[in-house]
Structure 1
Amino acid sequence: MDIKQQWNDFLTDATEEEQQVASLYLQSLERKRNGSNGTHIGALMEINSKFQEPDTLTMTIPNTELLQNSLDILHGGLTATLLDSAMGTLAFKLIPDDKAAVTTEMKVNYVAKGVGDHFTCMASVIHKGSKLLVMEGKVYRSDGVLIAHATGSFFVIPKRI
């Protein structure tokens, strides 16, 4: 069976909620294709990034059905993904162009439930060395309440060309 037939068969019997979620998937593929997001996970989460000076980054995502767990709150793993993405993106910005930064350790503390219209992650630098960066990230829900705090270590490696 080809993918067009799979989509048609699925949509024929899909509930309204399933159609909305399918639309979110398709929109994420379009965001990746048109370059709005550099990765599929960034496109799926609808990540919007803004660098601020000095050495800070803000990432915002909307709260969608794709990101919620069975309790209708932001999934903890996706909260961690947002933290890792924000801290890692900032780490990449701070190192030479011929280097990459990879996560070597991350500790997340969840302090409130993830509800609301959107979530904002603020990433900042704790330590910047030539081989290791230590970052901090905080995720806030749309009413300003902190839902998670993380620290992460990022190892600097040669970039593959």
Structure 2
Amino acid sequence: MDKQQLLAAIEQLSDRECKAIERTLTAVQNMKENKYPFLGNFLGVTEETDADSETFVCSMPIGREVLNPYRIVYGGITATLADMAMGWMLEKRISGQDKFVTLDMHTNYHRAGTGKRLIATARVINQAQDIWQMACDVHNDRGDLVVTSTGTFLQLHRSRD
């Protein structure tokens, strides 16, 4: 689809559908500024202030675009937040240059994702060479435990040149 076709398609959208396009464009623009991946920007994931050096906290708003037909956050979105929190902690707190990829992740769902925000708190469980074991708890803004997750991550070393 070229730009003219895209603009013509946008002209046919409802106001609600235009909001989704606006959110997408904002996510693309924010990627240039904050260097955070598209999905994190689209979901509105932001780092929270955390005085504890042993944990990393980030959160995302709960909006219509992440709700399933039952009006609760899709489980995959909640799991994505946990995965992002664990990976982001490793990249930010452990190594500023290296990257990390998820090798394995297990998620337990405890409560429906409801409220206004989801808050993810990640921590390191163990590290052996280039393998990191992580854990993450996701609560809603009312303090209800929504998800517990564990993940295994591989550290990819970047050259220091």
- TM (norm. structure 1) is 0.86
Change (3 A) 1:129 1:94: farther
Counterpart-to-counterpart distance in 2, 1:106 and 1:87: 10
Q: What is the aligned partner in structure 2 of residue 2 from structure 1?
A: 2
- Structure 1 residue identity aligned to 2:58: M
1:59 aligns with 2:86: no
Q: What is the aligned partner in structure 2 of residue 43 from structure 1?
A: 41
Gaps of 5+ in 2: none
Runs of 4+ with deviation above 6 angstroms:
none
Q: What is the aligned partner in structure 1 of residue 118 from structure 2?
A: 119
| RMSD of Structure 2 on Structure 1 (CA) | 2.1
Match of 1:159, SS?
Answer: coil
- Structure 2 residue identity aligned to 1:45: L
Counterpart-to-counterpart distance in 2, 1:74 and 1:15: 23
Q: What is the aligned partner in structure 1 of residue 90 from structure 2?
A: 91
Q: How many correspondences in the alignment? A: 159
Change (3 A) 1:99 1:32: closer
Change (3 A) 1:109 1:160: farther
Gaps of 5+ in 1: none
- Structure 2 residue identity aligned to 1:36: N
Change (3 A) 1:113 1:4: farther
Structure 1 position 156, deviation (Å): 2.1
Structure 1 position 154, deviation (Å): 1.1
Structure 1 position 92, deviation (Å): 2.2
Structure 1 position 51, deviation (Å): 6.0
Q: What is the aligned partner in structure 2 of residue 71 from structure 1?
A: 70
Q: Which aligned pairs between 1:132-143 and structure 2 lie closer than 5 A?
A: 132-143=131-142
- TM (norm. structure 2) is 0.86
